[in-house]
Structure 1
């Protein structure tokens, strides 16, 4: 069955609106991965997948502790380890032991990784500029989604304590 988007109906009950939002967030994430996948195909990049390409943008121009990537909630341990290994093999990142804590692994983009990261950021900028002209812009949307993230995080903490 194709993934269809239920149009927003202002007469919906509040719980139905909430369910529609949560389902749309999930669909948007999958769709965004498809956007990245299509862009990688357009650029003839076939040695990494969309999740790995987004991992490059999460690292950016910093040297990042692998544990930090997991703590930020981007990746779970085994997923991060697998994806980082693939990115090292493909030449997009390099990893090394932290000089301050030999147990910690640090990653940073290679020149190849920085180039691809910049291409993805350029794509994101083009999309962002299109949305910024819409009423409310991305700032309002970001505020609303941030509130939802805060509520969900708070609920998880409360449940963990009970």
Structure 2
């Protein structure tokens, strides 16, 4: 964890809140809140799309699992590391998706404890629904100019840097 002077931090209940004078700290905290809200909104967008299509058999998290699985054949651990499944149990959702016929699975030859999963044709259909939804949003954002200032590539670069920092912090703990 980064050390801060007592002048830069004030207590708010159990949380430490950077002082108003620390612009970078304030912007970082705002980014954290935005990331969380955007994730929740993304789940709501997926939910609304499936409700519009009268497909109520999947949760938004399950639909995103199918989307993130894509064309790959991976283990549950690999799938978990690819996406954000806040408050969800990947193994539980994979079992449900197998039972519903969206995912097929088989034991790995090398490690019989591991199970490799891949999309069935029904799972590919769901993946394509989510992909089309995201592409419509990308087109709308591009037309509005939202992705131009700052360029979305620079936003992604900064986000990847934060992701790398967080990953290093987790590795440092263990």
Both proteins in one fold, TM over 0.5: yes
Deviations 1:70-110 (A, max 9, x none): 3446459x811110011112211111112343222011111
**Aligned 8 A contact 1:48 1:90 in 2:** no
Shift of 1:31: 0.7
Choose the corresponding residue for 2:115, options 105, 119, 123.
Answer: 105
- The aligned counterpart of 2:27 is 17
Rounded to whole Å, the distance in 1 between the matches of 2:107 and 2:168 is: 34
Q: Give the structure with the higher percent strand.
A: 2
Q: Is the 8 A contact 2:106 2:115 kept in 1?
A: yes
Q: Give 1:61 shift.
A: 1.2
Is the Cα–Cα contact under 8 Å of residues 53 and 117 in structure 1 kept in the other structure? yes
Aligned position for 1:8: none
For the pair shown, the structure with the greater C-alpha radius of gyration is 2
Which structure has the highest helix share of the two? 1
Spell out structure 1 runs of 4+ moving beyond 6 A. Answer: none
SS at match of 1:53: helix
- Residues 1:28 and 2:38 aligned together: yes
The CA deviation at 1:47 is 1.1
1:141 aligns with 2:155: yes
| Residue in 2 that maps onto 1:55 | 65
Query: Could you say what secondary structure the match of 1:108 adopts?
Result: strand
Stretch deviating more after TM superposition (95-104 or 14-23): 95-104
Residues 75 and 29 of structure 1: CA distance in aligned 2, closer, same or farther (over 3 Å): closer
Report the Cα distance in structure 2 between the residues aligned to 1:67 and 1:149, rounded to whole angstroms.
Answer: 18
**3-state SS, counterpart of residue 96 of structure 1:** strand
Match of 2:77 in 1: 67
| Unaligned segments of structure 1, at least 5 residues | 1-10
Aligned CA-pair RMSD: 2.3
TM-score, length of structure 1 as denominator length? 0.81
Aligned pair count reads: 149
Scaled by the length of structure 2, the TM-score of the pair is: 0.76
Q: Distance in 2 between matches of 1:152 and 1:66?
A: 22
